[in-house]
Amino acid sequence: MHSRMKYVIGALFFSLLLLANDATKIHAQTAKKNQPNVVELFNQAAAKYKREFINLAGSRGPVNPMILRDVSSESIARVLSIRSNHPYAYGAKYQDNTAVLFYSYEKGFLQAWLIDKRSIQGYHKQKISKQQINNAIENLRNSLGVDSLSSIRSPHRRGIKIIPTAINNKLPINRANAQITNILIPTGIKDKLASVKHLIVVPVLGIGTVPYAILQPFNDDSFLVDKMSISIAPSLFDLGLTRSSWNPKDAFSSPLIVGNPYLPKNKSWVVPALPEAEKEVFTVAKMMNAVPLIGKEATRKTVVSRAEKSSLLYFATHGVANSSNPLVGGFMMFSADRLEQGWWTAKQIQEAKLFRAQITVLSACQTGLGKVHDAGIIGLARAFQIAGVPRVVMSLWSVNDAATSELMQAFVKHLQNNIPAEALRKAMIETRKTHPAPSQWSSFVLFGTPR
């Protein structure tokens, strides 16, 4: 009897255990069904992005239809996983531990996906207005004090006084940084960043103007740039395009280095001097065994004619961004008898044939700004990319001459043994030792992909 009782109790316990397991499975399956299908959500967002990108292309001119193929999270993972020995390998390969951070905004919600070579690793959706996003970006810029530099460092029309927005109510830098970090790298994304070494951001709205290098998503004082390189993708569709691998020997073979062009006085424009630009380009040119174009030699005509034959473009001059008319109102300044004659507009740049250049370095003010669209920004950096340059180093605000010169020299030094995104990361860390203020070392970003 005792044995039978033990048997019955054991059987009952086993039955209850099976029922518990079944209940757990049913609960897990139900929970899974109730969870959003992040793959399907991504594919829907990618389709929306495609429509917006076509509209963006229509605003700036014709676009190559080859890049407008459908993109899925699976296709991105596949592209990130291809290595040189892969049977379908072609063009440049992505570095190991590369991940894509893709954003989409619709109906008051900001969504973010983190994708690596395996699949979607992180997803987050938050209810937030466009105005709240813009305010957070503005708060960060105000806390850095970067807009206050515009009135003294950027070219501007006479009679226009540039007043930083809400500068009297600026947040402390740590609060402003935490605010934008929580929006752009929220829970669900930041927890999956541990293994990432190269982050590609595909932005939406004005997110591409954020200096990701200084974001602090980790539970310590480290910056994002301490852990990984960061680049801004020209578009979601560029991730799978064939690109030539970074080759410093080829890139340094025939560089065009331009600095401190002669900019005549003008009744309509105030153009601040660039005292450090000439020193900067002489040092950079020496590192590349090249002769720079400076002063009156750096005419727009000469620059344009040489640019199409050059393997690397380096411009230490003024750049002007324009949010209302980015293609004609945005331009680089070069030497001329009359100031306006030396302008190389974004429209003219994107119509040039710059396919030989491996990289363009815009050591100038605000070259990463322009007109914000749902699928990105129209401006100078994108114009060089459309013209055929796969990588563009651009600035997000008016920069300090001395810090910029030091950063760019470190960048060129590291370019000799690193891909550009990683070279910029190392240059920032190096420059931070002597110029610790984030505004002085974090204004530049790579527009392209890490390969």
How confident is the model over 32-68, as pLDDT tens digits?
A: 344 469 999 999 999 988 887 777 666 555 555 555 5
Query: Do residues 84 and 29 both lie within one domain?
Result: no
Query: Do residues 389 and 301 both lie within one domain?
Result: yes
Kindly tell me the sign of the dihedral angle through the C-alpha atoms of 186, 188, 191, 197. negative
Query: Do residues 410 and 297 both lie within one domain?
Result: yes
Helix 401-415 crosses helix 420-432 at what angle (to 10 degrees)? 140
Query: Do residues 180 and 51 both lie within one domain?
Result: yes
- Please indicate whether residue 193 or residue 272 has the higher confidence score (pLDDT): 193
pLDDT at 85: 47
pLDDT score of 285 more than 60 = yes
Considering the chain, what percentage of its residues have pLDDT values greater than 90? Answer: 56
Query: Do residues 124 and 229 both lie within one domain?
Result: yes
In whole angstroms, what is the distance from residue 104 CA to residue 309 CA? Answer: 38
| Cβ atoms of 440 and 413 closer than 8 Å | no
pLDDT at 377: 62
Query: Do residues 433 and 360 both lie within one domain?
Result: yes
pLDDT score of 28 more than 50 = no
Q: What's the mean pLDDT when you consider all of the chain? A: 83
User: CATH number, domain at 434?
Assistant: 3.40.50.1460
In whole angstroms, what is the distance from residue 349 CA to residue 227 CA? Answer: 34
Poorest-pLDDT segment among 144-158, 201-215, 325-339: 144-158
Q: Report how many domains make up the chain.
A: 3
The letter for the amino acid at 205 is: L
Domain hosting residue 191, numbered range: 39-240
Nearest to 80 by CA among 66, 101, 96: 96
In whole angstroms, what is the distance from residue 278 CA to residue 344 CA? Answer: 20
pLDDT grade for 255, boundaries at 50, 70 and 90 = very high
Query: Do residues 44 and 26 both lie within one domain?
Result: no
pLDDT grade for 16, boundaries at 50, 70 and 90 = very low
CA atoms lying within 13 Å on the CB side of residue 234: 28
